[in-house]
């Protein structure tokens, strides 16, 4: 299969990736080749097969849903590109 330029741009938009024209062209070709390779999965009959989300989940219990102490706010905000009081600061979402 061959992805179109519009499809690749749409994927980049969904992924919130700013890509150059050169990157868009390269990914269009490379993703098309990889998806061609992956097409062989379509020939496997899986009509009676359940999907696997994890290989050993039977042995992994969920812990009790109880509040526990988290990290101090100042420690969490130490890596913030921009902070204001106890919050992350970002540019406006809406114009």
Partner 1 sequence: MNLTPETMTIAEMLAGLRRADFTSRELTQACLARIERFEPRLHTLITYTPELALRQADEADRRYRESRQGDPSAALALPPLLGLPVMIKDVLCLADVRCTCGSKILENFVPPYTATAVQRLLDAGVVVVGKSNTDEYAMGSSTENSAYGPTHNPWDLERVPGGSSGGSAAAVAARLVPAATGSDTGGSIRQPAAYCGITGLKPTYGRVSRYGLVAYGSSLDSVGAFAASAAEVTLLFNQMAGYDPRDSTSCNLRAPNIQLSRSTDLKGLRVGVPDEYFIAGMQPEVETAVRAAIAQLEALGAVAQPVSLPHTEYALPVYYLIAPAEASANLARYDGVRFGLREPSQSLWDVFNKSRGAGLGAEVKRRIMLGTYALSAGYYDAYYGQAQKVRTLIRQDFLKAFQDVDVIACPVAPSTAFRLGEHTDDPLAMYLEDVFTLPANLAGVPGLSFPVGFDGRGLPIGMQLMGPHFKEEALLKTAHAYQLTTGWHKRAPELF
Please report, as ranges, the residues that interact with partner 1 according to CB under 8 A: 3, 8, 11-12, 14-19, 23, 27, 30-31, 33-35, 37-38, 40-42, 44, 46, 49-57, 59-63, 71, 75-76, 78-82, 88, 90-93, 95
88: its two tokens: 């992350």
Beta bridge partners of 87: 84
Shortest separation between residue 78's beta carbon and partner 1, angstroms: 6
Shortest separation between residue 87's beta carbon and partner 1, angstroms: 11
Measure the CA–CA gap between 61 and 47, rounded to whole angstroms.
29
Measure the CA–CA gap between 93 and 95, rounded to whole angstroms.
7
Measure the CA–CA gap between 33 and 25, rounded to whole angstroms.
13
Shortest separation between residue 5's beta carbon and partner 1, angstroms: 13
| Nearer of residues 6 and 15 to partner 1, judged by Cβ | 15
């Amino acid at each position: 299969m061959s992805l179109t330029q519009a499809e690749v741009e749409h994927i980049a938009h969904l992924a919130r990736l700013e890509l150059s024209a050169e990157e868009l062209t390269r990914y269009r070709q490379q993703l098309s080749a990889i998806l061609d390779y992956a097409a062989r999965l379509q020939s496997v009959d899986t009509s009676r097969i359940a999907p696997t989300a994890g290989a050993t989940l039977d042995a992994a219990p969920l812990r009790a849903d109880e509040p526990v102490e988290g990290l101090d706010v100042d420690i969490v905000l130490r890596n913030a590109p921009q902070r204001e009081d106890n919050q992350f600061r970002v540019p406006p979402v809406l114009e």
